[in-house]
Amino acid sequence: MTGLAEETAVDEGLHVLVVDDELPAIEDLAYLLRADERVREVSTASSGAAALRALDHGDVAALFLDIRMPGMSGLDLARVLTHFERPPKIVFVTAYESHAVDAFELHAVDYLLKPVAQERLAEAVRRVVAEVTGRPGPAATADDETIPVELAHVTRFVRRSEVRYAEAHGDYARLYTRRDSYLVRTSLSALEDAWGDAGFMRVHRSHLVALAHIDEMYVESGRCAIRVGDMRLPVSRRNTRALRDRLVRNARPGAQRP
């Protein structure tokens, strides 16, 4: 399809294909996808070969693809799809973290771990829409950075838009997302310089925070603090006024989020 045709198709709803050799996994994922208003149709296939046949009979925007399947694995199928003139987007859905590097070398849009939470699946759908249309959507910026992180000898890939705040750990920094945290080999000062234009602000010598993820700002006993999800983070006196000004500007009608 042309770019305009792709956008029109997405606006009408995505047609996605769930590929897994286990029927309960297919049924669970298909149920969650059908609950997403951006998804128009969900097809299913129980093998790589069946998936290829299904692609001949419909305009599929994305595959939600298991990796470990008998015969043709999900990675094998993804390699075949790279030879298509206009391959569908790939979201890997697996119980194993060990294939993340291979998945992203194949330009996967996302990598979900089973069991899949509906909120995390919704983010994957958003990424598919952004890839197909070129529109980043409300949860990311056009230049959203992907950060490789190490966790138990496995490389995972985290989008900058998923990071709620970062905490200083000597010459390292720990990134906190909604569910996990990751130690990265860079200083908080380096992240501040790199991410300042992407809506992050240093609120304390130990914390760099994504302004979009701040839920509350309050003062107790003369000390300012913010709430980010379930975490309460201190704000230094020297940064309190600047932070308040940034949050007020962002809250004004018509103001763009940082």
Q: Is 111 helix (H, G, I), strand (E, B) or coil?
A: strand
Between 118-133 and 23-34, two packed helices, what is the crossing angle to 10 degrees? 70
According to DSSP, residue 138 is labeled T
Using the predicted structure, report yes or no on whether residue 175 has a pLDDT greater than 80: yes
Name the domain boundary from 111, 133, 155: 133
pLDDT at 143: 63
Determine the Cα–Cα distance for residues 166 and 176; give it in Å rounded to an integer.
6
Whether residue 256 is contained in a domain is answered as no
| CATH number for 97 | 3.40.50.2300
User: What is the reported pLDDT for 44?
Assistant: 97
Average pLDDT, the chain: 85
Stretch 45-63: mean pLDDT: 93
Bridge partner residues of 169 (DSSP): 172
Q: Are strands 216-220 and 223-228 parallel, antiparallel or unpaired?
A: antiparallel
**pLDDT, position 168:** 94
Q: Say whether both 18 and 58 belong to one domain.
A: yes
Q: Is residue 258 part of a domain?
A: no
Query: Which of 6-10, 149-153, 210-214 has the weakest average pLDDT?
Result: 6-10
Domain count, the chain: 2
pLDDT in tens, 72-90: 999 999 999 999 989 999 9
Answer whether residue 3 shows pLDDT above 50: no
What's the domain range around 123? 3-133
Q: Which of 133, 167, 190 is the last residue of a domain?
A: 133
CATH number at residue 162: 2.40.50.1020
Nearest of 40, 44, 7 to residue 29 by alpha carbon: 44
Q: pLDDT (tens digit, 9 = 90+) per residue, 201-258? A: 999 999 999 999 999 988 877 789 999 999 999 999 999 988 888 887 765 544 454 5
The reply to whether 81 and 129 lie within a common domain is: yes
Segment holding 121, helix H or strand E: helix 118-133
Three-state secondary-structure class, residue 156? strand
Mean pLDDT is lowest, of 4-18, 43-57, 114-128, 167-181, for: 4-18
- Whose tokens are 């839920």? That residue is 215
Query: In which residue are the tokens 């500007």 written?
Result: 249
115 and 24 within one domain: yes
Task: Give the end of a domain, one of 133, 166, 189.
Answer: 133
